[in-house]
């Protein structure tokens, strides 16, 4: 396989807009109304082709190390582009878990500043990694929601103090769709000298994430959901001043200043955010991951965000007409792509929708409906009609 032929030249790719113009790329819509991007994005034809390219290249050329390293750098650049960041400030990870574990391994938690503050809406991995640090002297402080499900920034202000090393506020809750005011929380944390980690997994690709204005010191996420890639590939962006300050003790040879020196004589982490990379790059995930991110970049996140907002407005209007209890707040900046609706039996509701070829998911007592660039108004209307037919399962 001639590697020079593998990339589609930029000027040959058509201009895409969200909705019908992109929907043909996703075979699942031939038979299914897919509304579960919060679990996994739908598979695009070009993402499938990229995944197959990994096997074809392996067959044709054997170990394609140079190309794999190039794909790793293509992934880094694609993440950086989405984040409005520089590639040098982005670590390529195998998961949020790997990145966050490396991050906390760089924190001194044995001294006075040993607290990790976590919102109640963090993904389990963030909470579990925080609590694992109790073995290293950390104390974990939980910031819980009010009765209406919101976590006002004042709750973070009460929890964060001079003992806080790290405050974790997920950008959008995977459970309920609540969106945190990351900038306001970061301002509070920085006034106390604490770092802020924003897990953007439920936002990146469907909501603009601009690290220049977000306020967080570290932003993480991955390709499985709104970036349309597969499992096994993630990122962690770090503010550039942190690179020299933070020395991860959880590391690997791809974090070294010279990977191919192959030295076992010392620990010499890379000067860039690559010091938070780990071992062999997640090669099979790089191909589809880069292809998915290219598709998102072609359509553009601002256009996707506006498209999803308009679909969600239609969805919320229909849910109100059904008298459903929407758990996700509706205010400006209070939610992302995910809308959660209270159900008396969420598993039965997901199953009932599945019989009508509508794919959704559940968390807690909520039905999760998450729309993306490929959804159209007819999808919303189909979902609403199916919910009307199963009204007794809505709380
Ligand atoms: C908010 C959020 N963070 C993290 C993850 C996944 O973490 P990891 O990449 O470690 O599997 C998910 C979903 O799988 C998620 O929804």
What does the pLDDT look like over 205-221, one tens digit per residue?
Answer: 999 999 999 999 999 99
Cα separation of 142 and 156, whole Å? 9
pLDDT given for residue 243 in this prediction:
82
- pLDDT at 331 > cutoff 80: yes
Can you give the pTM of this predicted structure?
Answer: 0.96
Exposed e or buried b per residue across 88-106, where buried means at least 16 C-beta atoms within 10 angstroms of its C-beta: ebbbbbbbbbbbbbbbbbb
pLDDT given for residue 2 in this prediction:
60
Cα separation of 255 and 108, whole Å? 20
| CA nearest neighbour of 199 among 230, 228, 235 | 235
Cα separation of 59 and 68, whole Å? 14
Helix (H) or strand (E) holding 55: helix 45-61
pLDDT given for residue 9 in this prediction:
42
What is residue 355's DSSP assignment? H
Ligand 1 centroid – CA 351 distance (Å)? 24
- pLDDT at 129 > cutoff 60: yes
Per the structure block, which two tokens stand in for 347? 């598993």
pLDDT given for residue 7 in this prediction:
47
Ligand 1 cavity residues, CB under 6 Å? 95-97, 123, 125, 170, 174, 199, 201-202, 222, 234
Q: How many CB atoms lie within 10 A of CB 252?
A: 15
* Nearest-atom index, ligand 1, CA of 122: 1
pLDDT digits (tens, 9 = 90+) for 67-104: 999 999 999 999 999 999 999 999 999 999 999 999 99
Sign of CA dihedral 267, 255, 282, 2: negative
Residues 299-313 have a mean pLDDT of 98
Q: Are 83 and 239 in contact (CB under 8 A)?
A: no
Q: What share of the chain is helix, strand, coil (3-state, %, to 5)?
A: 45, 15, 40
pLDDT digits (tens, 9 = 90+) for 49-63: 999 999 999 999 999
pLDDT digits (tens, 9 = 90+) for 132-170: 999 999 999 999 999 999 999 999 999 999 999 999 999
pLDDT given for residue 176 in this prediction:
96
- pLDDT at 8 > cutoff 70: no
% of the chain with per-residue pLDDT over 70: 96
Which of these ranges, 5-19, 24-38, 242-256, 304-318, has the smallest mean pLDDT? Answer: 5-19
Nearest CA to ligand 1 atom 16: 174
Per the structure block, which two tokens stand in for 109? 């938690």
Mutate to test the pocket of ligand 1, among 36, 38, 96, 362 (most ligand atoms within 8 A of CB): 96
pLDDT given for residue 15 in this prediction:
76
pLDDT given for residue 145 in this prediction:
97
The runs of H, that is alpha helices, within 228-376 are 240-245, 283-299, 301-321, 346-355
Ligand 1 centroid – CA 125 distance (Å)? 7
pLDDT given for residue 337 in this prediction:
98
Residues 33-57 have a mean pLDDT of 98
Mutate to test the pocket of ligand 1, among 125, 173, 182, 207 (most ligand atoms within 8 A of CB): 125
pLDDT given for residue 3 in this prediction:
61
Distances (CA, A) of 70 to 39, 64, 67: 28, 10, 5
Cα separation of 167 and 185, whole Å? 9
Residues 352-356 have a mean pLDDT of 98
Ligand 1 centroid – CA 202 distance (Å)? 8
pLDDT given for residue 370 in this prediction:
98
pLDDT digits (tens, 9 = 90+) for 160-199: 999 999 999 999 999 999 999 999 999 999 999 999 999 9
Mean pLDDT of the chain: 95
Mutate to test the pocket of ligand 1, among 123, 337, 361 (most ligand atoms within 8 A of CB): 123
Q: Are 3 and 67 in contact (CB under 8 A)?
A: yes
Instruction: Please report, for the chain, how many H helices and E strands are present, in that order.
Output: 13, 12
- pLDDT at 315 > cutoff 50: yes
| CA nearest neighbour of 104 among 117, 123, 94, 92 | 117
Cα separation of 271 and 258, whole Å? 10
Nearest CA to ligand 1 atom 6: 96
The SS3 assignment for 73 reads helix
Residues 298-320 have a mean pLDDT of 98
């Amino acid at each position: 396989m001639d590697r020079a032929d593998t990339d589609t030249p930029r000027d040959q790719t058509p201009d895409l807009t969200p909705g019908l113009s992109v929907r043909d790329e996703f075979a699942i819509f031939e038979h299914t109304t897919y509304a579960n991007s919060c679990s996994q994005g739908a598979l695009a034809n070009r993402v499938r082709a990229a995944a197959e390219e990994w096997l074809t290249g392996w067959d044709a050329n054997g170990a394609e190390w140079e190309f794999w390293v190039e794909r790793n750098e293509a992934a880094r650049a694609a993440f950086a582009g989405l984040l409005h960041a520089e590639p040098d400030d982005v670590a390529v990870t195998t998961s949020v878990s790997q990145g966050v574990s490396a991050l906390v391994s760089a924190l001194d938690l044995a001294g006075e500043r040993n607290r990790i503050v976590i919102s109640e809406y963090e993904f389990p991995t963030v909470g579990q990694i925080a609590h694992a640090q109790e073995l290293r002297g950390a104390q974990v402080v939980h910031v819980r929601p009010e009765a209406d499900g919101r976590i006002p920034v004042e709750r973070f202000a009460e929890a964060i103090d001079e003992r806080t090393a790290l405050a974790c506020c997920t950008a959008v809750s995977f459970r309920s769709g609540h969106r945190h005011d990351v900038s306001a929380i970061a301002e509070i944390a920085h006034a106390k000298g604490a770092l802020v980690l924003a897990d953007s997994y439920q936002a990146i690709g469907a909501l603009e994430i601009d690290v220049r204005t977000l306020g967080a010191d570290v932003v993480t996420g991955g390709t499985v959901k709104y970036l349309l890639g597969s499992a096994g590939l993630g990122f962690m962006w770090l503010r550039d001043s942190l690179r020299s300050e933070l020395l991860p003790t959880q590391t690997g040879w791809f974090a070294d200043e010279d990977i191919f020196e192959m030295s076992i004589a010392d620990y010499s982490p890379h000067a860039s955010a690559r010091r938070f990379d780990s071992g062999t790059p997640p090669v099979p995930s790089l191909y589809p991951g880069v292809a998915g991110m290219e598709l998102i970049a072609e359509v553009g996140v601002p256009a996707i965000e506006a498209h999803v907002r308009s679909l969600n407005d239609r969805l919320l209007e229909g849910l109100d007409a059904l008298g459903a209890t929407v758990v996700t707040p509706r205010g400006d900046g209070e939610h992302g792509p995910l809308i959660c609706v209270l159900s008396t039996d969420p598993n039965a509701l997901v199953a009932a929708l599945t019989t009508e070829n509508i794919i959704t998911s559940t968390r807690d007592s909520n039905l999760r409906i998450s729309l993306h660039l490929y959804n159209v108004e007819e999808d919303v209307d189909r979902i609403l009609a199916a919910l009307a037919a199963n009204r007794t399962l809505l709380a």
